[in-house]
Structure 1
């Protein structure tokens, strides 16, 4: 976990400013654009277009909708940056981030249009969609890939597999308690499963020894992994609530799932592409 060249404070400040600027732009649009203009920028299922697929991601129907998306954006992207910066993978971060912002909006809207209108017919042609949650979901998929890659790089393949299992079980357990996706009995079963998985991992001597050695040499990395794990689990539980949220707006699970998957694929594509070119940064 050592050997990563230091980065100047100025460069870190510039990068932080750029990331904060995305959230600032979303707030500025909601604050400065009149409602009549924001209405024209939303995605309408009866009149789908590539332009509106992108513009819809920048507008929100309420302050609570906006604040929720900006807050999750800050938490998720901050976690991704913390992990990749620790590994010296800033180029990978910026390429994958740009890819999620560019690719996620049209992909989520295309799948939404095909599934919700053409296949399930659960929305009308006059129904509109807006918000940054599809992009936030893509960042969630990006964080999932980055978290697993970081754990595997620092602690080994076995630790990476344990992370996959614990994230999955913990996310489903939380969902079983907070929504109607899974019955409560499933939550109990998943909780028991997580305890069993933890017990198996606790008796895996090579894994425990490697984690202890890595922790002794770099506790900062362990903290970043722990935070990333919690953020992924919490985000998945929020994204896949199949019920009305506090504002009585249906949470779009299809778009969130599409965004999450898109973020995973974009990130893997960037990683594999850079490896093929001989650049691992």
Structure 2
């Protein structure tokens, strides 16, 4: 059994590394003209490029940044989902993120620009939308970890609070200062988390924690907090204060849409997997 588990982990890592290898191979081996054909051109859109555009990059720095983000997000998310015993969930979601997110992000980009900026016909390329979606996946996985340990409702409350904190970080990063809106979102998030957990304590929804050493509860809180913090760091990096660097536009909208689709798809695949919610031992509400 142990050997089978080791082989399974090794196979998982090979697949994840192979995706990174594909990005490098496309960038280094394909001619520039071919890479341009694989990018999604808003002036002459082709269906296949909705997917292939995610796997070509503008330059070495663009590729390296996405590889670092991809490696970090997938490694941590894989470790968390493995700890939760949800390998199948990880792969269902990853398959969606690799294949569906590029299509969804490029379609969203195309629809927005066609509606509000019909004169713009940029060419989209890059894996950052997929990287952002893995950040959304990790966000959901962190909330699931809390839910598995202390009850589904607590996981939802903590996830909602963390979402408000991430939104506050985005608004502060985009504006370059801590605004009243950002501060208000932080306060609301913290109050929501405290209120939700206290409510569950009164209802007996987190009674399982009463038998655990305080040190274990603190360790769980630090672990979940570190996961949400990592997501915050990713979001901070995906929302630059200057969107045009060296003549290249950073598509912040694609990053935001990718993160949102990562959250939605992770929640959907969690439900389809049949191992999240009541089937995983969470209390019924």
Aligned residues of 1:180 and 1:243 also touching (Cα < 8 A)? no
Unaligned 5+ segments in structure 2 are 281-285
Structure 1 range deviating more: 86-95 or 131-140? 131-140
Say if 1:51 and 1:199 are closer, same or farther in 2 by CA, change over 3 A: closer
Structure 1 range deviating more: 69-78 or 195-204? 195-204
2:58 maps to 61
SS at 1:50 equivalent: coil
Query: Superposition pairs for residues 192-231 of structure 1, below 5 Å?
Result: 192-193=187-188, 206=201, 210=209, 213=212, 216=215, 224-231=223-230
CA deviation vs aligned residue, 1:159-212 (integer Å, no higher than 9, x gap): 324422442333233334432287634334445555656766897794698288
Give 1:129's match in structure 2, choosing from 117, 120, 124: 124
Structure 2 length-normalised TM: 0.80
Say if 1:47 and 1:260 are closer, same or farther in 2 by CA, change over 3 A: same
Query: Superposition pairs for residues 1-281 of structure 1, below 5 Å?
Result: 8-116=5-113, 118-121=114-117, 124-125=120-121, 127-180=122-175, 184-193=179-188, 206=201, 210=209, 213=212, 216=215, 224-241=223-240, 243-244=242-243, 246-275=245-274
Shift in Å, 1:71: 1.0
Structure 1 length-normalised TM: 0.81
Unaligned 5+ segments in structure 1 are none
* Aligned CA-pair RMSD: 3.4
Say if 1:177 and 1:262 are closer, same or farther in 2 by CA, change over 3 A: closer
Aligned residues of 1:173 and 1:186 also touching (Cα < 8 A)? yes
